[in-house]
């Protein structure tokens, strides 16, 4: 009985001492110009995450599954949507979930994003951050900033 308990304790200690495999989070900035009626646009990305090859530098972007909620007449609306970013270099694509709060009395909206999944080189990519969105006519300019890591 004592041998079994000792073995279990040693096993637990060995498993608990296993090194973490996640990379150090690196900053990324993504600027996107979106056409509102079509829900499509382009993006460029830059920062340490791009410099280190963690994410591509440009591509196309599209909106999927936009849901409006929390509408308050002519004051604000909350949106939840998925963004699909497809890299120009063929390395893969990522999907982001956005939580957006639009305040009608302001020209600028501050919201959050989280990376939900990826394909190709981005299957183990994770990240999150903030978005500042401004608009003019049928065009929205999204400025994403945050951190990405690969594990």
Please give the Cα distance from 63 to 50 (Å, whole number).
23
Q: What is the CATH code of the structural domain delimited by 21-150?
A: 2.40.350
What's the mean pLDDT in 92-111?
80
What's the pTM? 0.78
Determine the pLDDT at residue 22.
62
Which range is least confidently modeled, 21-25, 27-31, 71-75?
71-75
* Alpha helix stretches (DSSP H) within the chain: 2-16, 48-51
Determine the pLDDT at residue 106.
63
* pLDDT tens column, 36-94: 999 999 999 999 999 999 999 999 999 998 777 766 666 677 788 899 999 999 999 99
User: N- to C-terminal Cα distance for the chain?
Assistant: 39
Please give the Cα distance from 24 to 125 (Å, whole number).
12
pLDDT beyond 70 at 8: no
Every domain of the chain and the residues it spans: 21-150
What's the mean pLDDT in 12-16?
43
Please give the Cα distance from 82 to 63 (Å, whole number).
6
Determine the pLDDT at residue 12.
44
pLDDT beyond 70 at 9: no
Length of the chain: 151
Tell me the pLDDT band of 21, cut-offs 50, 70 and 90: low
Tell me the pLDDT band of 117, cut-offs 50, 70 and 90: very high
| Percent of the chain at pLDDT exceeding 70 | 76
Please give the Cα distance from 72 to 79 (Å, whole number).
12
């Amino acid at each position: 009985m004592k041998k079994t308990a000792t073995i279990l304790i040693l096993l637990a200690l060995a498993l608990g001492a296993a090194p973490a495999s996640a990379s150090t989070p690196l900053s990324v900035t993504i600027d996107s110009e979106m056409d509102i009626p079509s829900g499509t646009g382009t993006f460029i990305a830059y920062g340490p995450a791009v410099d280190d090859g963690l994410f591509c530098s440009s591509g196309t972007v599209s909106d999927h599954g936009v849901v409006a909620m929390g509408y308050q007449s002519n004051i604000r609306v909350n949106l939840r949507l998925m963004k699909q970013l497809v890299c120009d270099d063929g390395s893969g694509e990522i999907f982001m979930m956005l939580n957006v709060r639009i305040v009608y009395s302001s020209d600028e909206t501050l919201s959050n994003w989280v990376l939900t999944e990826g394909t190709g080189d981005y299957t183990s990519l994770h990240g999150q951050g903030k978005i500042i969105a401004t608009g003019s006519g049928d065009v929205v300019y999204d400025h994403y900033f945050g951190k990405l890591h690969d594990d």
